[in-house]
Amino acid sequence: DINLANHISCLCYFWSCCSFFFSALFPVAFSCCTKVSEEIPKGILRRVERFDVQKADGLCHLEAVILYIQGRKFCVSPRIKKVKKWMKKKRLNIHQKGGRRQRRTKIKKRGRRER
């Protein structure tokens, strides 16, 4: 049947358009971490290129820190002390890079004037 073939092709086209628009509107939904590691190998944080924080807010059902290393994605728990400390340090570095650094000057107390 030509009619059936037309219906199937229209349905396939509609499905591909819907999935394209859905992925454009909700890109996070397709990249959610489903498992997190509770441990982190030594030295891995030095190789991280960037990171994202995944919240358990409806789109994703699990809190995680997503570490990107050489194009790969690693999901770790945000409760790991090393990760918390590392993220805090990275966030401070980001804020410092944009602003001007102030030079500290030593303030000397003035003594009595000699006569």
**What is residue 63's predicted lDDT score, i.e. its pLDDT?**
95
- Each of the 115 residues of the chain gets a pLDDT tens digit; together they read 677 666 566 555 665 555 545 545 555 445 799 999 999 988 899 999 999 999 998 788 999 999 999 999 999 999 999 999 999 998 887 666 555 544 555 555 666 665 5
- Record: fold of 32-97: OB fold (Dihydrolipoamide Acetyltransferase, E2P) (2.40.50)
Long-range contacts of 29-32 (CB under 8 A, 24+ apart): 29/59, 29/60, 31/66, 31/73, 32/59, 32/60, 32/61, 32/62
* pTM summary value: 0.56
What ranges do the domains of the chain cover?
Answer: 1-30, 32-97
